[in-house]
Structure 1
Amino acid sequence: MRHTHPQPGDIGLTQISGVTGRLIRFGQWINGDGFADYQHAFLVLPDERLLEAQPGGSRIRPLTDYADADVLYVYPEGLTEQQRAGICAAASRYVGVPYSFLDYLAIATHRLRMPVPGLRRYIASTRHMICSQLVDQCYLDAGVHLFVDGRWPGYVTPMALYNILGR
């Protein structure tokens, strides 16, 4: 489902310009999630704040940082206020989590069914997360499973979130 006015627990999907955005688009396409306009995801928090993954580590920022951006706010149908509160509470545990572009490679390796022993364990052990993994993990911590397709936890791109919530 979509919102025009973001609520705590919503997921914001937006574009990233330049080379970084094009690289993420390509990575998402390789992963089978499409080649469209959403390369970044963040989690809306109470008090007009958000949690997002960044190359220097995840951080909480003012929601107004995206006031001039084209953002699609989405959430799963039937999301309760209690679940929203749990998702937002989980967010504080992930401030400072490192970012890794290599997670796109790991997601592609998994999607292409390339045999890499220990890949799943390695990705989980590094505690690195791209933006969409961070959002999905906060939902999982609150007991809300966005994906029911058997994917490994953390194997989520911004376009995967759009594909299940934004259409």
Structure 2
Amino acid sequence: MQHALPMPGDIGLTQISGNVGRLIRIGQWLNGNGFADYQHAFLVLPDGMIVEAEPGGATIRPLSAYDGANILYVCPEGLTDRQRDAIGAAGRRYEGVPYSFLDYLAIAVHRLRIPFPGLRRYVAATGHMICSQLVDQSYHDAGIHLFSDGRWPGYVTPGALFQRLADF
């Protein structure tokens, strides 16, 4: 489901310009999400705040930081206020978690079924998260599975969130 006014628990999807955005688009293509128009995801928290993974570590900041930006807000249908609160509480716990572009490579290795024993354990052990992993893990921690294909929360890109939740 998508809508214009963000609510706690919503996922914001947006574009990243420049070389970083291009690299993420390529990473998403390698992961089977095509050249998705969205390269970044963040989680809306209560009180007009968001949490987002960034190269310097996950940050909580005002939603107003995205004023004027082209944002698509999505979420599963039928979230209750209690679920939205649980998602937000889970997301807040990831403030400061480090970021790693290598997670895109790990996701691609997993998708291409390249034998890499212990890959999932390695990705989890690093404690790093890209933006979409943080969002998916926050939902997972709140007891909500965004994907029904059995994927581990570490194997998700912003493009995968778009494909799963956006109304086409």
TM-score (norm 1): 0.98
2:102 corresponds in structure 1 to: 102
CA distance in 1, matches of 2:44, 2:125: 26
Runs of 4 or more, structure 1, over 4 Å off, are: none
CA distance in 2, matches of 1:118, 1:154: 13
Structure 1 position 79 matched with structure 2 position 79: yes
- CA displacement at 1:10 relative to structure 2: 0.2
CA distance in 1, matches of 2:92, 2:65: 19
The DSSP-based 3-state class of the residue aligned with 2:55 is coil
- CA displacement at 1:152 relative to structure 2: 2.0
- CA displacement at 1:34 relative to structure 2: 1.5
CA distance in 2, matches of 1:152, 1:87: 17
CA distance in 1, matches of 2:37, 2:66: 16
The DSSP-based 3-state class of the residue aligned with 2:93 is helix
- CA displacement at 1:118 relative to structure 2: 0.8
Kindly tell me the number of residue pairs found equivalent between the two proteins. 167
- CA displacement at 1:153 relative to structure 2: 2.3
- CA displacement at 1:78 relative to structure 2: 1.5
Structure 1 position 17 matched with structure 2 position 27: no
Write the deviation string for residues 21-43 of structure 1: whole angstroms up to 9, x where unpaired.
00000000010012121000000
Structure 1 position 57 matched with structure 2 position 57: yes
Unaligned runs of 5+ in 2: none
Alignment of 1:4-153 (within 5 A): 4-153=4-153
Q: What letter matches 1:157 in structure 2? A: T
- CA displacement at 1:61 relative to structure 2: 0.7
The CA RMSD measured in Å over matched residues stands at 0.7
Percent identity over paired residues = 72
